[in-house]
Structure 1
Amino acid sequence: MIKAMYLLKDIIGEKQENDVSFRQTPKKKIIADLNEIIDLSLEDYYSTNLS
């Protein structure tokens, strides 16, 4: 879960630094990537804590 937050922080920081690159990328793609990061982090979190 913590990894997901750091990745999101990096993505948001990149967006603020370079808005041009985000204008080239469709919002659906960005949202799908963020959802994938969150899902993978949740899987990692639960597999670690439930084992």
Structure 2
Amino acid sequence: MCKAGAYQVYIQSNCNIGLVMHLLNHSSIVMTLAYLGLNQVSTEEMLDSIDFG
């Protein structure tokens, strides 16, 4: 599975990192997050775009 495909699974599965980790056969969540390019900055940007009401 390519990085773009893995990212789409992550987004479309409501950010189910465990599923993506399993599909990529990674041994840690940190490895999967790094592979997807998700770091603290991108996480904060995603959270900023969410309307919590």
Do the structures match in fold with TM over 0.5?
no
Greater RCO, 1 or 2 (C-alpha within 8 Å, sep 6+): 1
TM-score for the superposition, normalised by structure 1 = 0.36
Larger radius of gyration: 1
The normalised TM-score by structure 2 is 0.35
The structure in which a higher percent of residues are helix is 1
